[in-house]
Amino acid sequence: MRVTFTANGKPVEADDVWEGESLLYVLRERVGLPGSKNACEQGECGSCTVYLDGTPVCSCLVAAGQVQGREVRTVEGLADESGLDPVQQAFIDAGAVQCGFCTPGLLVQTHDLLDRQPQPSDTDIREALSGNLCRCTGYEKIMDAVRLASARKCEKAGASE
Amino acid sequence: MEFLRPATWDEALAAKAEYPTALPISGGTDVMVEMNFDVHRPSAILDLNRITELSEWQIADDVVQLGASVPYTRIINELSGPLPGLALAAHTVGSPQIRNRGGVGGNLGGASPAGDAHPALLAAGRDVFVEVASQARGTRLIAIDDFYVGVKRNSMEKDELIRRVHIPVADGPQQFSKIGTRNAMVIAVCAFGFALHPKNGTVGTGIGSAAPTPRRAVEAEEYLAGVLAERGLWQSGDLLGTEVIQRFGELVKAAASPIDDVRGTAEYRRHSLAVMARRTLTWTWNDYSKQIRSAA
């Protein structure tokens, strides 16, 4: 079947999509957006997290046919012409990226958290990221990155007032 | 394989009538796992995402009519007042991403004994109904006590779809407790839902992951309701006493028929059910006592 949807603001079209195929497969293998990672394929790891109509979801658990006519925003859509998103910059500056496999999912999930809650508590952060697994090591640098992104975001908001 | 995308409820029923073996998908958090791992190759997938009414809820005559696809995130954010037990259970489902997609309809359709919503629905009382419909026979309400019939089997017919669940608005405190290895992404080792229903002087229980189906602890419910009535505790809000709490826990434990499996042993499940029963009873009764005292 053919599936058409919007990916990072641009219309995309995928042909010969198998009916049981996931959105993740379509993104990675059919429309050239391999940023979302394929690890567990059962919603356990969060590496494939994307926005679907503005809500973060595991793209491995969305059937391709379900996104017909809808809007998807992947990790590739976080940065704009002016550069990286503050969340991405904070992950680099805090050293929160090791092998990098879990990073795209963490970035999208953190992006959503800070949109809803610019100044989250540590508990809020842990809860928001509870569905994103990093197997390199502990999560402390990731926590640092989210706190840093939050601080910068609040600073920026304060400055523009 | 066909991919069916009905735009309305009537179209969905027509599609299900034409393809009775079609697998309904909404949040996809169970269905897509089976698809990705090739556990299941249905003849057709029936996508319900376009039917907006399935993602809506309303309250009429003190009953919440909860659309089958209302995601758990919205149950937590919007319904923790009228449905506190279900909202607590919803909070233990998967992860934020899973809660953004999954809903109660999928739990009921899958009818896994480990589904997190089931203990809360059972505890919410005997007036919880699953509204299902088919093109041929129209709408019917299935009482929650008649809904679960076997391991991953419910009492629906092949041509039926779940539209919504009718759940009475809570008239007393409710609790939910679940055992797992961590606080997220956990399939329950076992779970327990509990609710006080002061209006009709009953209590509700629901046991998860400790029997072939979700089930209530009938004797525990009857014992506790009897004690509360005999001793005038609904009116006084006085302490229950250790003996009552202990006995309630034992009766809940006795109602389970768990097995040993990869997530835990039968003995551990029985033990933890007694613990969860005592805890949830204590929490809810303390809340209820506070309400009585502050009203006095």
Q: Is some CB atom of chain B closer than 8 A to the CB atom of A127?
A: yes
pLDDT for residue B25 is more than 70: yes
Instruction: Transcribe chain B into DSSP letters.
Output: -EEE--SSHHHHHHHHHH-TT-EEESS-TTHHHHHHTTS---SEEEE-TT-GGGG-EEEETTEEEEETT-BHHHHHHHHTTT-HHHHHHHHTSS-HHHHTT-BHHHHHHH--TT-THHHHHHHT-TT-EEEEEETTTEEEEEEHHHHEEETTEES--TT-EEEEEEEEPPSS-EEEEEE-SSSSS---SEEEEEEEETTTTEEEEEEESSSSS-B--HHHHHHHHHHHHHTTHHHH-----HHHHHHHHHHHHHH-----BTTB-HHHHHHHHHHHHHHHHHHHHHHHHHHHHHH-
Are A102 and A55 found together in one domain?
A: no
For residue B29, the chain A residues in CB contact (below 8 A) are 43, 58, 61
- Partner residue opposite A49 with nearest CB, options B3, B25, B97: B97
pLDDT of residue B206: 98
A130 contacts in chain B (CB < 8 Å): 95-96, 183-185
Residue that wins the pLDDT comparison between A65 and B295: A65
pLDDT tens readout for residues B194-220: 999 999 999 999 999 999 999 999 999
Cα angle, residue B284 at apex, residues B252 and B247 outer, rounded to 5°: 30
Q: Which domain holds residue A67?
A: 3-77
Same domain, A111 and A134: yes
The answer to whether residues A20 and A66 belong to one domain is: yes
Q: Which residues from chain A sit within 8 angstroms of residue B183, using beta carbons?
A: 130
**Final residue of a structural domain among A77, A109, A126:** A77
Residue A146 shares a structural domain with residue A118? yes
Cβ contact, residue pair B41, A55, below 8 Å:
no
Q: What is the CATH number of the domain that holds A126?
A: 1.10.150.120
Considering its fold, how many domains does chain A have in total?
2
* Percentage of residues in chain A having pLDDT higher than 70: 99
User: A65 and A37 in one domain?
Assistant: yes
Confidence of residue A156 (pLDDT cuts 50, 70, 90): confident
Partner residue facing A42 (CB), from B33, B44, B96: B33
Residues of B engaging A, defined by a Cβ cutoff of 8 Å: 1-3, 5, 25, 27-29, 31-33, 35-37, 41, 44-45, 47, 49, 94-98, 100-101, 183-185
What is the pLDDT, as a whole number, of residue B295?
A: 86
- pLDDT in the model for residue B30: 95
Residues 6+ apart with CB under 8 A from B143: B126, B127, B128, B129
Measure the CA angle with vertex A65, ends A59 and A68; round to 5°: 95
How many Å lie between the alpha carbon of A137 and the closest alpha carbon of chain B? 17
Q: Domain holding A25: CATH number? A: 3.10.20.30
Residues A62-74 as b/e (b if ≥16 CB within 10 A, e otherwise) read bbbbbbbeeebbb
Question: Which of A53, A77, A101 is the last residue in one of the domains?
Answer: A77
Interface probe for B, chosen from A19, A21, A52 (most Cβ of B below 10 Å), is A19
Q: Please count the CA atoms within 13 angstroms of the CA of A63 that sit on its side-chain side.
A: 30
Q: How confident is the model at residue A138 (pLDDT cuts 50, 70, 90)?
A: confident
Q: Are B5 and A130 in contact (CB < 8 Å)? A: no
pLDDT at A157 over 90: no
Q: Are residues A58 and A91 in the same domain?
A: no
Q: Which of A77, A112, A143 is the last residue of a domain?
A: A77
pLDDT of residue A159: 80
Q: Closest-CA residue in chain A for B49?
A: A66
Name the residue facing A41 among B5, B36, B185 (closest C-beta).
Answer: B36
Q: Could B33 and A131 be called an inter-chain contact, meaning their C-beta atoms sit closer than 8 Å?
A: no
Q: Using the beta-carbon criterion (under 8 Å), do B35 and A66 form an inter-chain contact?
A: no
Interface test with A, best of B36, B54, B55, B92 (most A CBs within 10 A): B36
CB pairs under 8 A between A and B: 89
Task: Say whether residue A135 is in contact with chain B using an 8 A CB cutoff.
Answer: no
Would you call A55 and B2 a contact, using CB atoms and an 8 Å cutoff?
Answer: no
Interior/surface letters B171-206, b for 16+ CB within 10 angstroms, e for the rest: ebbbbbbbbbeeebbbbbbbbbbbbbbbeeebbbbb
Which residue, among A151, A54, A114, B77, has the nearest Cα to A106 in the 3D structure?
A: A114
Contact A61 B95 (CB under 8 A): no
pLDDT on residue B20: 96
User: Does A70 lie in the same domain as A53?
Assistant: yes
Judgement on whether residues A7 and A73 belong to the same structural domain of the protein? yes
Q: Determine what percent of chain B is predicted with pLDDT higher than 70.
A: 100
Contact A22 B37 (CB under 8 A): no
Tally of CB atoms within 10 A around A96: 24
- Res. A161: pLDDT tops 80: no
pLDDT digits (tens, 9 = 90+) for B254-287: 999 999 999 999 999 999 999 999 999 999 999 9
* Whether residue A100 is found in the same domain as residue A134: yes
Predicted confidence (pLDDT) per residue in A9-65, tens digit: 999 999 999 999 999 999 999 999 999 999 999 999 999 999 999 999 999 999 999
Per residue in B34-46, pLDDT tens? 999 998 899 999 9
Q: Are residues A92 and A64 in the same domain?
A: no
Residues B29, A60: C-beta atoms closer than 8 Å: no
Domains of chain B and CATH, by start: 174-295 (3.30.390.50)
Q: Is A118 on the interface with B (CB under 8 A)?
A: no
Residue B66 Rama label (left phi>0; alpha psi -120 to 50; beta): beta
What does the block give as tokens for B245? 């709490």
Residues A56 and A107 in one domain: no
- Whether residue A71 is found in the same domain as residue A137: no
Q: Answer for the pair B245, B282: CB distance below 8 angstroms, yes or no.
A: yes
Mean pLDDT of chain B: 97
CA distance A98 to chain B (A): 23
Say if the Cβ atoms of A131 and B29 lie within 8 Å: no
